[in-house]
Amino acid sequence: MWDRCDAIPLDVSLRACAGGLPNTELGLRLPGPAPGDQDAEGADGADGPLPGEGPPEDRPVPVPVLEIEPEWLATWARLVTGTGGGWLPAAALLTDTDGLAARCAAAPRTPEDDDPLAPDERVRNFRAAASPAARLLASHLALAPLTLDVMEKVKKAVLPRLGPLPLAEVLLSGLLERPAPAAAGFTGFAFRDGVRNQLLGGLGRGELFRALQGVSAVAAKVIGARPDLLPRYLAAPDGPVDDRLTPAERELAAAAHPALLALGRPYSRLAQKVRVLVDPPPSPPETDDRSDLPGVRTKGETMSGSAPDTERLTSSTPAGAPPSGPPQENGAAPDGPPGSAPDQSPAGAPPGGAVRAPGSVPLPNANFTGREEHLRMLRSYLTEGRRAAVLPQALYGLGGVGKTQLAIEYIRRYAEEYELVWWVRAEQPAVIRTSLSALGSTLGIEGPDVDGVVDKVISALASGFPVKRWLLVLDNALGPEDVMPYIPHMVGVPGGAGHVIITSRDGGWADQVSALKVDVFTREESIEFLRRRDTTMTGEDASRLADALGDLPLAIEQAAAWQVNSGVQVEEYLGLLASRRSEVFAEPMTVGGAESVAAVWQVSMDSLRARNAGALELLRLLAFFGPEPVPLSLLHNARLLSLPAALSRTVKEPLNRARAIRDIGRYSLLTIDNRAGTVQLHRLVRSVLQDGLDAATAESTAHLAHLLLSAHDPGDPEMLRNWEQYTEILPHVETSGMLECQDPDVCHTVLNVVRYLLARGDFRSGVELARRALKEWRRGLGPDDLRTINLVRLLGAAQRSLGRLDEARELNADALRRLRATVGEEHEDTLNLAGGVAADLRACGNFREALELDEDTYAKSVRVFGTDDPNTLMAGHNYAVSLRLSGRFTEARELDRKVWQVRAMVLGATARSTLFTVNNLARDMRECGEYAEARTLQEQTVATYRQYYGETHPHTLRAIKNLSVSCRKAGDYERGLELAVLVLDHYRRTAGDRHPDALAALTNLGNDLRMTGDLQAAGQRGAEAHQGYREVLGEHHPYTYLAALNHAVTLRALGEHPRAHRLDQDTATGIAGTLWADHPWVLLSRANLATDLARLGNH
């Protein structure tokens, strides 16, 4: 849209070397000089000035331009805070000493630019360039007074999820102009000549009616008009109108007038009455003053002007029938403006007095909410091609999702298009025949018996006599084989249209007719419904209630009725659901005579038992998994288990299992996803099934679900090929009750799922699951049980990975004491946990004790397990880490190389443990001075991590950080800087600024900036890293001292020798008391201090 403004931003690159810089000190790269412009500094891609230098006089100053979108704001925030670390893509206006730079100025307007366009051409140009959202908004604004407040509220109502851009498109579209000077003080807009009518011509008749209702309600509230004014007129278009209108109501009525004309009979007569109310008596031509209604009408168009071009805006109200509902499209010609030809009945419309039999149709639901897409698709399926043939359309889905309500709402909206609408309860063939026989009486058809009448009714509907346009609804139908004989087949009847809607829980309809699956509400629809019923309910409470009820419309309706009629609050109702669920679901509906939630599904379950008893047993078993999809592959493992006889025959034999799933699906009691190979039960169906079992049966069935989940455990979470199965198990671990189960195999699977989360890098989820399991196991198994201890070890590792070092140290130290006291020093679990305690010691800066513990653990592991055992390899890996941190680089390299070779052979080159070790081997090689070799190995390691684990896995980020250092050591400073910026950005977004890994990445970035010559930025990053380490790890941690050493190097490069000397002196004193005398970092601190003294002249 910038091309419609007087200032056009350019795509540029910006760079901030520090936070809070003025625009004059931002680095600037331009896309290249515009023809005829003078070359500006930076146009060739050179860096902008460093902070403090100031730009050259002829250098443009960038002014960033933002869209209110997350990615735009994120870039701007990095620029303002100086955390981008490099060049950032941006849009900017350029300014110079004369104001806006020439390359950003729009081309001067010419007289040709002001030539008026015809309204149709102006609207056609807008629609060609505008977004779909802007086109929709413009057509709705054509129904409203055009004050800015009204326009914003209409935008919010029509496009609630979008930002201000669609409205901006309309404002800049050229469709609008400011009102005439006579409307002084008015701050709104007016459509240009003829534009409003062109916009209205793009709406269908029914769509126009609904839009007029919605927009007028919004506008009335904004401008202070009566909100029921237009709805009252629309409900009784032939009734009287109020001639005492306020100015605001005159505005509202005037804005609606073109739409009323477009709607045709009988609303065109209403339009004439409105015109008289809002237009004063005709004045002489030279005094065309409309200042009383500014911004409402199209400029230059009186209320008696021509109606819009409305080829799609057609009348559908039959002759002699009252306009009881909104008008709809049916292909008939529209009414003309006042004075045009008289009303004509549409082709195919019934004569006056045609029978509609409204008494056979349930009353509409005043609280019907959402389902617009379903209604649109249903309408499309039934009317596609305007064929004169029966097009049965099935609505199928779980009981309680609102299939019947959807059919009733369709009738409410479109009944006027039919001569006959008939509702049939189709639960049983006998009931269908009775209902069709009653229709025969309505149509004047007689016969010797019920079957004879039914046959004649079906023949009459198929032939189009006595009615050509009819809608037959078969509600709550059985399977196709029971109902298809009663569906008429109209073919080749001129002007005829016979439509059939079927609602059913039987998914078999999808194989027989055009079918639309109806699912639960979206969360937004649930919230809207609840708050419509209870206007005092907050959105948060409505969301909590909807979540507890699984967004099932019937349950949502029941909850809303309870609250409205009994005053039960959300918190109390949720408590009832938790403690007395079966009673709540068994409660009958308080309105409309609808069945209770439990009763609705019990019918389906009874039918399933009669058809396939084994299928019902399988359904009950599935109810004890979680509410997430259940992989059917889980059931393959049932052959390994001892099952009850009825369930065994169903589950263990693949053909019987497939038949059972099919039969359950027929009653829509579960959702079958053949592509994913899963089935899923609605959470309330699960609840009803569980509540229907006695305590002993429920307990044994739940345990069987636990055993099936455990049998699906592939056994090694480290292996990538097993991750898919753990992903399938994970959603059911807690919701199935596995955490409370003490079966050894089930506990082992829980441990493996936690290990899987850690291997995947999802440490937070690992902590949450481990904490909840630990609470249950300490109570059920005891704190000294080996399963409990192993869970503690995994929890400690996850806490350490999240930077929660104190929690990890306390957990592991206590568990190690328990293991040594119960199973001894050389037990496998004791040695494994000792490695975790050593890692805690290293993380807390106690390198000496960590080295001693790792050395002892490795020696014991070699003696107990042998050199190539996985436990020994893990101990060797940990020992090598301690060797490297102790400055024994050669020993660390040789041990890491040995561990890597064995792990690659046993576990594979892409296993997480193997890559972890080879990453450390590259660090060892770098510390030994093998810079080129270390970089080559690390490039390969990073490529493997990215391929198998993704860009953002914590171990991938650690490997990239390691590669950044290797590039710098090998002399490739630019590559090192690029990687350092990348990894720091990831750490900050995923782990936070104060995570130890983020601080290490910040230190590396400071070093890379120093080596690439950006000393100011390097100094800032180094100071941030040093301060961060002091706050997170403490003053005397070795990493804090190391960050100080790096920062002092930058201070010397900046010429700040006294500051560098003070920092190095403090560091050399402190680190000597933390590490041993010959440690490389201690020696480095002394060398740096000597350099400071030399620079200060103290030789």
Q: Could you report the per-residue pLDDT of 753-804, keeping only the tens digit for each?
A: 999 999 988 899 999 999 999 999 999 999 999 999 999 999 999 999 999 9
Residues 169 and 145 in one domain: yes
Q: How far, in Å, are 328, 337, 804 from residue 265 at the CA level?
A: 12, 10, 73
CATH number at residue 468: 3.40.50.300
Sign (positive or negative) of CA dihedral 714, 718, 719, 721: positive
| Residues 372 and 259 both lie in one domain | no
Pick from 727, 733, 728, 790: which is nearest to 762 by CA? 727
Report in angstroms the alpha-carbon separations of 473 from 362, 375, 409, 502: 11, 15, 12, 6
989: tokens are 């977004």
On whether residue 231 sits in a domain, the answer given is yes
Residue 634 has what pLDDT? 86
Phi, psi torsion values for 92, nearest 5 degrees: -150, 150
Distance CA(808)–CA(800), nearest Å, equals: 6
The helix-helix angle for 1038-1053 and 1057-1072 (nearest 10°) equals 160
Please identify every stretch of the chain with a pLDDT value under 70, giving residue numbers as ranges.
1-6, 31-58, 68-69, 84-85, 106-116, 128, 132, 161, 179-187, 202-207, 243, 265, 279-360, 385-391, 491-492, 561-568, 577, 579-601, 603, 1099
- For the purposes of burial, counting CB atoms within 10 Å of the CB of 694, is it exposed (0-12), middle (13-18) or buried (19 or more)? exposed
Q: Are 1065 and 1043 in contact (CB under 8 A)?
A: no
Q: Is residue 893 part of a domain?
A: no
- The predicted pLDDT at position 322 comes to 31
CA distances from 1099 to 110, 1050, 1065, 1096 (A): 76, 21, 16, 8
The β-bridge relationship of strands 420-425 and 469-477 is parallel
Please give the distance of CA 923 from its chain centroid, rounded to a whole number.
40
- Looking at the structure of the chain, the number of domains it has is 7
Residues 926 and 1010 in one domain: no
Task: Please give the C-alpha separations between residue 356 and each of 27, 107, 389, 435, 491, in angstroms, as whole numbers.
Answer: 75, 64, 20, 15, 22
* 361: its two tokens: 């149709």
- Judging by DSSP bridges, how do beta strands 391-396 and 497-504 pair with one another? parallel
For residues 531 and 422, state if they share a domain.
Answer: no
- For 943-972, b/e burial (b = at least 16 CB within 10 A) is ebbeeebeeebbbbbbbbbbbbbbbbbbeb
In a domain, 587, yes or no: yes
Q: Domain end: 234, 253, 278, which one?
A: 278
How far from chain centre, in Å, is Cα 96? 44
Which is it for strands 514-517 and 391-396: parallel, antiparallel or unpaired? parallel
- Reference 886, options 742, 730, 711, 1079; nearest CA is 1079
Does 637 map to a domain? no
Position 230 in a domain: yes
Which of 278, 293, 317 is the last residue in one of the domains? 278
Q: CA–CA separation, 431 vs 437, rounded Å? A: 10
Query: CA-CA distance, 713 to 726, in Å (whole number)?
Result: 7
Q: What is the rounded CA–CA span in Å between residue 494 and residue 475?
A: 28
Contact, 682 vs 398, CB < 8 A?
Answer: yes
Q: Tokens for 665?
A: 């699906």
Do 81 and 133 lie in a common domain?
no
* DSSP designation for 88: E
Q: Alpha helix locations (H) across 3-47? A: none
Q: Who's near 910: CB < 8 A, 6+ residues apart?
A: 720, 944, 948
Q: What is the CATH number of the domain that holds 1002?
A: 1.25.40.10
Give yes or no for a contact between 709 and 732, defined as CB atoms under 8 angstroms apart: yes
Residues 1061 and 962 occupy one common structural domain: no
763 HSE (CA, 13 A, CB side): 16
Alpha-carbon distance 334 to 205, whole Å?
A: 9
**Which pLDDT belongs to residue 1020?**
95
* pTM of the predicted model over 0.75: no
Token code pair at residue 768: 């949450």
The whole-number pLDDT of residue 69 equals 67
| Together in a domain, 411 and 511 | yes
CB-CB contact of 836 with 874 (8 Å): no
475 phi, psi to nearest 5 deg:
-95, 140
Q: Examine residue 666 and state whether it is found in any structural domain, yes or no.
A: no
For residue 325, what pLDDT is reported? Answer: 40
Q: Pick from 793, 810, 725, 720: which is nearest to 760 by CA?
A: 720
942 in the same domain as 800:
no
Q: Which domain holds residue 441?
A: 358-517
Please give the backbone phi and psi of residue 181, each rounded to the nearest 5 degrees, phi first: -55, -25
Q: Assign residue 467 a region: left if phi > 0, alpha if psi is -120 to 50, beta otherwise?
A: beta
- CB 154 within 8 Å of CB 259: no
- Cα three-residue angle 741-746-748, rounded to 5 degrees: 125
User: CA distances (Å), 1025 to each of 19, 420, 1020, in order?
Assistant: 15, 78, 9
1072 and 1091 housed in the same domain: yes
Bridge partners, 95 (sequence order) = 61, 100
376 and 482 share one domain = yes
Residues 261 and 386 in one domain: no
Supply the pLDDT for residue 857. Answer: 96
Q: Which helix (H) or strand (E) holds 392?
A: strand 391-396
The whole-number pLDDT of residue 957 equals: 93
Distance CA 260, CA 35 (A): 54
Residues 986 and 1008 placed together within one structural domain of the fold: yes
Whether residue 83 is contained in a domain is answered as yes
Buried b (16+ CB within 10 A) or exposed e, 592-615: eebebbbbbbbebbebbeeebebb
Please give the angle made by the CA atoms of 103, 106 and 107, to the nearest 5 degrees.
Answer: 100
Q: How far is CA 251 from CA 139, 232, 272, 277, 412, in A?
A: 18, 17, 16, 11, 30
Is the C-alpha dihedral spanning 916, 921, 922, 927 positive or negative? positive
Contacting residues for 40 by C-beta, under 8 A, at least 6 apart: 30, 33, 58, 59, 60
Does 879 reside within a domain? no
Q: Which of 823, 854, 885 is the last residue of a domain?
A: 823
Distances 1012 to 80, 683, 939 between C-alpha atoms, Å:
22, 59, 21
Q: How many CB atoms lie within 10 A of CB 98?
A: 7
- 535 burial (CB, 10 Å; 0-12 / 13-18 / 19+) is exposed
Strand 27-29 with 10-15, pairing: antiparallel
What confidence score (pLDDT) does residue 1023 get? 96
CB atoms within 10 A of CB 743: 13
What would you report as the CA-atom Rg of the chain, rounded to the nearest whole angstrom?
38
